[in-house]
C-alpha cells in the first residue's frame, strides 16, 4: 500500500486515473509529463509530500532519469515504474507522415527504454521492482492506418518480455497493460481530420473509462511478490478486433 511508484504520462487519461487510484490507496507517487499544471492539480488533491511531480519529456533520456532520481532521492527506493506516456497519430503509410512516425517511435518505444534504463540499476540493487508499460490491443493486431502505432506497441511486447526473462533472478516483475478503446485525450494526436473524428466518436461512445484501466494496473501491483501478472488485455465488451 505504501509503494513508491513513478508514472509517466500522468497528466491525463489512464496515467491520471491510475495516479489518483493509487494515491487514494496510500502509494507514494512521482508523476511525470510535459503539462506541469495538470500534474500539480493532481498532486494538490492529496496530502503534502505524498504525490510529487516533475515536468518530464520522455523523449529526453536525461529528463526521464531525473524523474526517477526524484523518487529515489525523496522516498529512498523505487518499487514500480509505470511507463504510460504514449501518442497515437495514426495514418496510412501512403500519407507519408514521417514526422509522426518518428514521434511515435520516440515516445512509445524510446521513452519506455529510457524509463527502463533509469530504473534498472536501482531495481537490481534493491533486488526487487516492478516495471509496467501501457501496451495495447494494437500490440497484438494491426489494421490499415495503425501500422506504425501497432509497430511501436509490438516492439513493447518484445522489450518487456526480454526484460522479464533477463530479470527473473533480481525479482523484477513486468506487466503490460493492453487496452482496446479507452475514452481519453489520445485521439487528439491524430492529424487526419476524418480519422480523428471517427476515433473520437468511437472512444467517447464505446471506450472503457480510464478508471477501468487503472483498476487493471492496481490489480497487477497488488499481487503477492511471487505473482507476476505479465499482461492484462482488456477491451470494451462491444469491441470486436
One symbol per residue from 103 to 122: x for binding ligand NJP (CB under 6 A), - otherwise; what is it?
Answer: ----x---------------
Q: Which is nearer to ligand NJP, 78 or 190 (CB)?
A: 190
Q: Which stretch binds ligand NJP (CB under 6 A): 44-52, 56-64, 91-99, 223-231?
A: 56-64
Q: Residue written as cell 501491483?
A: 221
Minimum CB–partner distance for residue 31 and ligand NJP (Å): 9
Q: Which is nearer to ligand NJP, 57 or 231 (CB)?
A: 57
Q: Which is nearer to ligand NJP, 126 or 215 (CB)?
A: 215
Residues taking part in catalysis:
149
Q: Which of residues 2-31 bind ligand NJP (CB under 6 A)?
A: 8-15
Q: What is the 3-state secondary structure (H, E, C) of 171-237?
A: CEEEEEEEECCECCCHHHHCCCHHHHHHHHHHHHHHCECHHHHHHHHHHHHCCCCCCCCCEEEECCC
Minimum CB–partner distance for residue 33 and ligand NJP (Å): 4
Q: Which stretch binds ligand NJP (CB under 6 A): 23-31, 84-92, 163-171, 222-230?
A: 84-92
Q: Does 148 bind ligand NJP (CB under 6 A)?
A: no
- Among 90, 123, 184, 232, which residue interacts with ligand NJP (rule: CB under 6 A)? 184
Q: Which stretch binds ligand NJP (CB under 6 A): 78-86, 122-130, 163-171, 221-229?
A: 78-86
Q: What are phi and psi of 52, to 5 degrees?
A: -100, 160
Q: Which stretch binds ligand NJP (CB under 6 A): 79-87, 91-99, 117-125, 163-171?
A: 79-87
- The binding site for ligand NJP (CB under 6 A) comprises 8-15, 33-35, 38, 56-59, 84-88, 107, 134, 136-138, 179-182, 184-186, 203, 207, 210
Amino acid at each position: 500500500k505504501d509503494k513508491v511508484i513513478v508514472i509517466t504520462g500522468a497528466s491525463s487519461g489512464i496515467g491520471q486515473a491510475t495516479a489518483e487510484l493509487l494515491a487514494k490507496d496510500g502509494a507514494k507517487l512521482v508523476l511525470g509529463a510535459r503539462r506541469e499544471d495538470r500534474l500539480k492539480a493532481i498532486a494538490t488533491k492529496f496530502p503534502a509530500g505524498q504525490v510529487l511531480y516533475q515536468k518530464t519529456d520522455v523523449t529526453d533520456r536525461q529528463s526521464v532519469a531525473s524523474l526517477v532520481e526524484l523518487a529515489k532521492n525523496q522516498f529512498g527506493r523505487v518499487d514500480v515504474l509505470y511507463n504510460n506516456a504514449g501518442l497515437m497519430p495514426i495514418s496510412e503509410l501512403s500519407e507519408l507522415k514521417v514526422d509522426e512516425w518518428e514521434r511515435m517511435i520516440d515516445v512509445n518505444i524510446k521513452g519506455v527504454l529510457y524509463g527502463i534504463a533509469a530504473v534498472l540499476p536501482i531495481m537490481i540493487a534493491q533486488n526487487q521492482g516492478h516495471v509496467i508499460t501501457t501496451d495495447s490491443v494494437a500490440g497484438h493486431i494491426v489494421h490499415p492506418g495503425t501500422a506504425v502505432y501497432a509497430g511501436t506497441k509490438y516492439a513493447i511486447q518484445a522489450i518487456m518480455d526480454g526484460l522479464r526473462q533477463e530479470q527473473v533472478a533480481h525479482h523484477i516483475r513486468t506487466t503490460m497493460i493492453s487496452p482496446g478503446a479507452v475514452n481519453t485525450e489520445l485521439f487528439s494526436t491524430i492529424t487526419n481530420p476524418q480519422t480523428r473524428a471517427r476515433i473520437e466518436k468511437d472512444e467517447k461512445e464505446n471506450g472503457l473509462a480510464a478508471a477501468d484501466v487503472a483498476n487493471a494496473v492496481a490489480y497487477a501491483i497488488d499481487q503477492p511478490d511471487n505473482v507476476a501478472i505479465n499482461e492484462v488485455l482488456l477491451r470494451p465488451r462491444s469491441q470486436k478486433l
